[in-house]
Amino acid sequence: MSGNERITVAVAGNPNCGKSTLINALAGSRLQVGNWAGVTVEKKFAELNYNGTAISLVDLPGTYSLSPYSQEEIIARDYLVNEKPDIILNVIDSTNLERNLYLTIQLLELGIPVVIALNIYDEAQQKGYEINIAIHTLLLGVEVIPTVSTQKKGMDSLLNVLVGNVNNQPKRQYYGKDLESAIDVVQTNIKDDRRFSGYASRWLAIKLLEEDEYLLRSTGVVDLTELTGEAVGHLAVAHDEDIESQIVDERYALASGLFHQVFKQTFKPKQELTEKIDKIVLNKYLGIPVFVFMMWLTFKLTFDVGNPFVGWIDGVIGGPLTKWAGALLAAVHAPEWFVSLILNGVIAGVGGVLVFIPVIATMMFFVTFLEASGYMARAAFIMDRMMHKIGLHGKAFIPLLLGFGCNVPSIYSTRILETRRDKLLTALLVPLISCGARLPVYLLFATVFFPRHAANVILSLYLLGIAIAIFMGFVFKHTLFRAEAPVFIMELPPYRLPSVKNLLIHSWEKVKHFVVKAGTLILVASVVIWFSLNLPYGVSQQDSLLGKTGKAIAPILQPLGFGTWEAGASLLTGFVAKEVVVSTMGEIYSGAQEERTEQLSFVGDLKAIVVSFGSAVQEAFFGFFSNIDITGISSSKEEEGLDSLKQRLGLDFTPLSAYSFMVFVLLYVPCLTVLAAFKHEFQSWGWVGFVVVYLSVLPWLVSFAVYQGGRLVGLG
C-alpha cells in the first residue's frame, strides 16, 4: 500500500488481554478518551501516522464473545458490523490462548481483514509456552505478531502489518459439513433480500441460524423460517442440540484445534505466581482479613499521599491567587459587589472543589491499581456470598467500591452488571457509599470537634454508610426487587503488575472529568449561591434568599441537633454537590473574616508556592512511610482561611450535633450530577423521584436516632 492513505483500525479483544496498555503504547500522547455515542462505556481512540498512512485507532470494549447479551458486546458488534473498519486488530492474551481464540474465530466470520497481536508474550515465554507463529499465520491466513505492550515491543511491526494487510481476506474457517451446508442454504435465501444489504453474508447467515434476537430486531425479520427453514430442519435432525449451541461448539472446536497445533509447553514452572498469591488471598481463613487489609491500605495510601497536596492547593488558591485577583480587581476599580462575587463566589467556590483533586487522583490511582492488578475480581469472589444475600452480584461490589471515589462514575459503572434489576438495585445503594466530595465536610467537622480522633470518626462514617447500604439492600431485596437474583460467572484473571504510566493516564482522565464538572457545574452553582446569599443586595446573609429558605427548614432539622439557618442553607446548597456544603459555610461565615492587607510580590509569592509544594511532596513521602495509621487526615496543616470558620462552627455545634450533621451529609440526596447520571442511565424520572424521597427520609431517621440516642446516653 502506498502513502497518503487513510485506514480505520478497530481494536478488539477479551477483557484482561492487555488491550488498554497496547493502545497506550501505540497511541502515546495522541490517545483520546470519550464515550460511545448515547452510552457511557468508555471509548478510546487515536489518530496516528505511520509512514504516510493516517491510521485511526478505535478501541472496542473488551468482550469474551460477540453475542448480543451485554452492552459491551453490542457496542463492539455494532461498530464492526455497521462502521466496517478497514481492519481489526485482535489483541490476544498469549497466556490464555485457547479461550481468546474463541473471539478470534467470531471476528473472522465478519469478512473484515484481521491482524493478531499475541500480547503479554513475555509472560507466556516465562511459563514455558511456545507458540508456533508460522503455523498460526498459515492456519488463519492472518498476520500474527508477538507483542509485549508494557515494554512497547512489537509495536512497529504491528503498525507495519496493519497497513499492509487491509486488503488481505482471512482464511474462511470450516464449520463442519452440516453447518456449512446450512450456512450455504441461508446465504442463498438472503442473497437478494434488500433488508440485509450492507451485511457480510456469511456472518449474517450464521447469526440467522443462531436466531440472534438483536439482529432479528434490528433488521425487522419476523418470519425466520422462510430464511432458514430447510437448513434448520436438517440440523435439528442430525444433532440433538440447539443450533446456537452447535455453532458455539464448532467455534470452540476450531479454537481448540488451532490451539493444539500451535501450542507447546516446553517446561512447567513449579508454581505460578497467581496461584501462590491466591493461596493466601483466597484462603479460607485469611481471605477476609486480607480483603479488609487491602481496603484499609487503599484508604491509608489515598489520604496520606493526597492530603499534603490538598493543603498546598488550598494555600495557593486562598493565598496568592485570591490576593492577586483582589489586587487586579482593585486596580481596574471594579465595584465592591463584583469583587465579592469573584473572590467569595467564583474563586472560593471553584477553589473549594479544586483542592480535592489530589485525593480524587490518588483514590483513582489505587482503585485502578486494584482493578488492573486482578485483585478486584478476587474482592468480588470473596464478597459474592455477602452481596448475594442483599440480592446482588459479587461484581456489584465494584460500583459500590468505586462509589468511595465518586458516586457519579460509580452509577455509570453499574453497567458491568447484566440485568436492569441488578443495575438499579446497585445504583440505589451507591449514594450511601461515602464519596470523596463528602470528605471535606467530615474533614472540617472532625478536625474541629474531634481533633484527636478525626481519623477514627471519619472511618466510622464510612463504615456506617456501608452498614446502611447492606441494610437497605436487604430491605430492597425483600420489597421492590423480589425477582430472582442474577447469575454470577466471572473470570479470575492472573495477577499482573499494572504500569504506573497506565495508572497515571487513568487517574488523569478521572481528574480531568472532575475538573470539567467543577469548572462548569460548580462554577455556576457558586455564582448562584453567591447571588442567593447576597440578594436582595445589602441585607444581612440571614435575610438573603438562601438564609430565609435555610431558616424555613431549620425546624425540621431541630430534632437532629442542627436547627440553624446556616446549617439548613449549607445543606440546601449541598444538593448541587456535597463539597459545596463547606464552601457555603465558608461564605456564610467569612463575613466575619477581617480584611488582610498583604504586600504584593510576584516573585515572593511564586517562591512560596514552589517551596510549599516541595514540603507537600516531602510530607506525602514521609507520611507514606513513617506512620501506619490514618493520622495524615488530622495532622494536615491548619489553613489560615479556615480558622474563623472553625471558630464559628464551635459556637453553633456540639460534638454530638456535629456527628449527627456528618451522618446527615453522608446519607442525604447525592449531588445533582448523581441524579443526572441516574436519569441518564435508567431513563426514568420516577426512579429519580424515588431516590430524592428515599434519601431525604432515611438520613433524617438515622440522624435523629444518632442525636436523640446520643442525648439519651448522656453525650452532647
Partner 1 sequence: MDLSKVKVGKTVIIKKINLKGTLKRKFMDMGILEGEMVTLEKIAPMGDPLEVTIKNYKLSLRKNEASLIEVEEVQ
SS3 of 250-309: the string is: HHHHHHHHHHHHHEEECCCCCCCHHHHHHHHHCCCCCHHHHHHHHHHHHHHHHHHHHHHH
- From candidates 314, 384, 422, 587, binder to partner 1 by CB under 8 A: 384
CB of 488 to partner 1, least distance (A): 5
* Angle of CA points 664, 668, 669, to nearest 5°: 165
Amino acid, single-letter form, for residue 495? Y
Question: Considering beta carbons, is residue 248 or 480 the nearer one to partner 1?
Answer: 248
Q: x/- string (CB under 8 A) for partner 1, residues 490-529?
A: xxxxx-----------------------------------
Q: Least CB distance from residue 100 to partner 1, whole Å?
A: 9
489 is an interface residue for partner 1 by CB under 8 A: yes
Which residues in 217-246 contact partner 1 (CB under 8 A)? 244-245
Is residue 214 a contact residue for partner 1 (CB under 8 A)?
Answer: no
Nearest to 27 by CA among 75, 101, 89, 110: 89
| Distance separating alpha carbons of residues 262 and 120, to the nearest angstrom | 17
Nearest distance in Å: CB 489, partner 1:
5
Q: Which stretch binds partner 1 (CB under 8 A): 401-409, 484-492, 578-586, 687-695?
A: 484-492
Q: Is 69 in the site for partner 1 (CB under 8 A)?
A: yes
Residue 72 has which C-alpha cell? Answer: 459491551
- β-bridge mates for residue 80, sequence order: none
352-371 residues near partner 1, rule: CB under 8 A: none
Strand partners of residue 54: 6, 49
Given 135, 282, 346, 470, the residue binding partner 1 (CB under 8 A): 282
Q: Is 98 in the site for partner 1 (CB under 8 A)?
A: yes
6 phi, psi to nearest 5 deg: -135, 120
Q: Please identify which residue in 45, 50, 214, 252 interacts with partner 1, judged by CB under 8 A.
A: 252
Beta bridge partners of 45: 32, 58
Our CB check for partner 1 shows the closer of 295 and 490 to be 490
* Contact pick of 46, 57, 64, 465 for partner 1 (by CB under 8 A): 64
* Angle of the 201-209 helix axis to the 243-262 helix axis, nearest 10: 120
Distances (CA, A) of 603 to 320, 597, 600, 606, 609: 11, 18, 9, 5, 10
Grid cell digits, residue 46: 487515536
Min dist CB 8 to partner 1, Å, is: 27
Contact flag: residue 386 with partner 1 (CB under 8 A): yes
How far apart, in Å, are the Cα atoms of 88 and each of 65, 121, 462, 709?
15, 20, 45, 63
Binding test (CB under 8 A) with partner 1, winner from 18, 146, 170, 394: 394
Q: How far is the CB of 224 from partner 1 (least distance, A)?
A: 16
What is the pattern of x (binds partner 1, CB under 8 A) and - over residues 260-279? --------------x---x-
Nearest Cα to 553, choosing from 668, 656, 468? 668
Near partner 1 by CB under 8 A: residue from 15, 164, 287, 563 = 287
Distances (CA, A) of 469 to 139, 397, 577, 695: 53, 11, 20, 12
Contact (CB, 8 A) for 90 and 103:
yes
Q: How far is the CB of 99 from partner 1 (least distance, A)?
A: 5
Q: Which is nearer to partner 1, 245 or 520 (CB)?
A: 245
Chain positions contacting partner 1, by CB under 8 A:
64-65, 67, 69, 96, 98-99, 102, 244-245, 248-249, 252, 274, 278, 282-285, 287-288, 377, 381-382, 384-386, 388, 394, 487-494
